[in-house]
Amino acid sequence: MVPFEPNVSRDVYAQRRARLAANLGDGALVLYGGELRTRSNDTEFRFRPDSDFHYLTGLREPGAVMVLRAGAAPKFVLFVRARDRDAEIWAGRRVGPEGAMARYGADAAHPLGELAEQLPKLLDGVANVHVPLGRWRALDQHVQRAIDHLRRRNRWGETPPDALCDARTTVGEDRMTKDPAAMASLRQAVEISTHAHLAAMGALRPGMFEYQIEALLEYEFRRRGAQAAAYGSIVGGGDNATILHYVENDDELRDGELLLIDAGAEVDLFAADISRTLPIGGRFSPAQRDVYDIVLRANTAGIAGAVVGGDIDSIHRTCLRVLCEGLASLGLLAGDIDEALEKETYKRYYMHRTSHWLGADVHDAGHYTLGRTPRPLQPGFVLTVEPGLYIPADDELAPPELRGCGIRIEDDVLVCEQGPEVLTWRVPKTMDEIEAIMAAAR
């Protein structure tokens, strides 16, 4: 038996397909589940399905293709690897076409080898074909060949589609508003990540190595049932924290410096994304407190903007103002605040955006702007709020006690009618709370 999603009822996927089909008009959606990727020579990374494909099927097998049609039956068709006893003994179980129907609810299922033959039949007479344009060369080619076939056969009554649509928009828009099952997975990912961050706070000591904290975080993820880290865990001490996507995690953690942890678990293919910054020796220095306080105030102000009708751009500008005022108070920003905001001189210390969508991908699907204007937040949207300040060790403007210091505080927020719900509220972020937890663990 190939294990089904352990925590998600298959009805969830059927409901999502029904919702999608209702928005397809006279169309068809074609998605690819992705394939195994080589790590080196003949070893591969663990398979992780395409988020859109998995969102609508729950199936985690390399090579699979789904076709969803709004019109005539069969509406939901899966193409999967044929059963093969020898191959399965070596490389793992396969669901097979029968299993795709019995356990994944497909109305029809075929071995992958029949895709080229079946696809034109499934797309015949369909007005719009939704496919993730340019994402998978092989899938694009299959769809193109099917359309060519229908074009040639038009004199015999077959009808090619009029338009290709980008399935990433079609499915991404549905993923924007989290349904109850998505929220359940997200909440579980957050809960597991919370335990992991708390464990890191308890274990952190000067003289440890960054990879030991990374290992602890990922041990907590896996032992609590997450399938993986949702992204490469960032565990950067001192100056390493000023590198935004630092993932080497191989340095020693030194007393007196800060440790920036940006790590989140993936549960049923939904991601948590949490950053906290900790004093390696257990106490923030006065200079570190000054910077941390600015970032925390930006984080809180940003979260307050995660309301229905608000938008990610306004949240960013709110955080920028708090950060700029703080930088000015530290003597790191000359001139007045409005000028700094306009000339973007703050970018020396804050170079990234404040928020992104969160969901099945850590940087989730869905458009950020609609018609060139920032998209208004709606109930059910989930976003991060993650302001930071990064002062490199070689920054000559900064006083020595501030150099080599990177601070980011990142929370995951659900937009609700009543206001923002901070999903990550259980991960301590005030300096006093963090110091108390670290002291209690010593």
How many chain residues touch Mn ion (CB under 5 A)? 2
Contact region for Mn ion (CB under 5 A) — 224-232, 268-276, 331-339, 423-431?
268-276
Contact region for Mn ion (CB under 5 A) — 22-30, 193-201, 272-280, 324-332?
272-280
User: Toward Mn ion, which CB reaches closer, 75 or 187?
Assistant: 187
User: Is the backbone of residue 236 left (phi > 0), alpha (psi -120 to 50) or beta?
Assistant: beta
User: Toward Mn ion, which CB reaches closer, 174 or 273?
Assistant: 273
The 3-class secondary structure across the chain, one letter per residue, is CCCCCCCCCHHHHHHHHHHHHHHCCCEEEEEECCCCCEEECCEECCCCCCHHHHHHHCCCCCCCEEEEECCCCCCEEEEECCCCHHHHHHHCCCCHHHHHHHHHCCCEEEEHHHHHHHHHHHHCCCCEEEECCCCCHHHHHHHHHHHHHHHHHHHHCCCCCCEEEEHHHHHHHHHHCCCHHHHHHHHHHHHHHHHHHHHHHHHCCCCCEHHHHHHHHHHHHHHCCCCEECCCCEEEEHHHHHCCCCCCCCCECCCCCEEEEEECEEECCEECCEEEEEECCCCCCHHHHHHHHHHHHHHHHHHHCCCCCCCHHHHHHHHHHHHHHHHHHCCCCCCCHHHHHHHCHHHHCCCCCCCCECCCCCCCCCCCEECCEECCCCCCCEEEECCEEEECCCCCCCCHHHCCEEEECEEEEEEECCEEEECCCCCCCCHHHHHHHHHHCC
Contact region for Mn ion (CB under 5 A) — 175-183, 228-236, 384-392, 427-435?
384-392
Instruction: Write down how long the chain is.
Output: 442
Q: How far is the CB of 189 from Mn ion (least distance, A)?
A: 13
Q: How far is the CB of 31 from Mn ion (least distance, A)?
A: 26
Pairing state of beta strands 234-237 and 228-229? unpaired
User: Toward Mn ion, which CB reaches closer, 220 or 273?
Assistant: 273
User: Toward Mn ion, which CB reaches closer, 243 or 287?
Assistant: 243
Q: How far is the CB of 260 from Mn ion (least distance, A)?
A: 12
Binding mask 91-130 for Mn ion (x = CB under 5 A): ----------------------------------------
Contact (CB, 8 A) for 82 and 97: yes
Q: How far is the CB of 319 from Mn ion (least distance, A)?
A: 13
Nearest to 150 by CA among 130, 170, 121: 121
Contact region for Mn ion (CB under 5 A) — 155-163, 342-350, 380-388, 425-433?
380-388
Nearest to 58 by CA among 118, 7, 18, 10: 10
| Nearest residue relative to Mn ion (C-beta) | 273
Q: How far is the CB of 384 from Mn ion (least distance, A)?
A: 4
Out of 266, 273, 361, 364, point to the residue binding Mn ion (CB under 5 A).
Answer: 273
Residues catalogued as catalytic: 42, 245, 262, 273, 352, 356, 363, 386, 390, 408, 410
Q: How far is the CB of 233 from Mn ion (least distance, A)?
A: 12
Q: How far is the CB of 355 from Mn ion (least distance, A)?
A: 8
What distance in Å separates the CA atoms of residue 238 and residue 189, rounded to the nearest whole number? 28
User: Toward Mn ion, which CB reaches closer, 273 or 364?
Assistant: 273
Please tell me whether residue 355 binds Mn ion under the rule CB under 5 A: no
User: Toward Mn ion, which CB reaches closer, 403 or 408?
Assistant: 408
Out of 274, 384, 391, 415, point to the residue binding Mn ion (CB under 5 A).
Answer: 384
User: Toward Mn ion, which CB reaches closer, 352 or 375?
Assistant: 352
Contact region for Mn ion (CB under 5 A) — 49-57, 69-77, 198-206, 381-389?
381-389
User: Toward Mn ion, which CB reaches closer, 188 or 384?
Assistant: 384
Q: How far is the CB of 367 from Mn ion (least distance, A)?
A: 18
- Residues near Mn ion (CB under 5 A): 273, 384
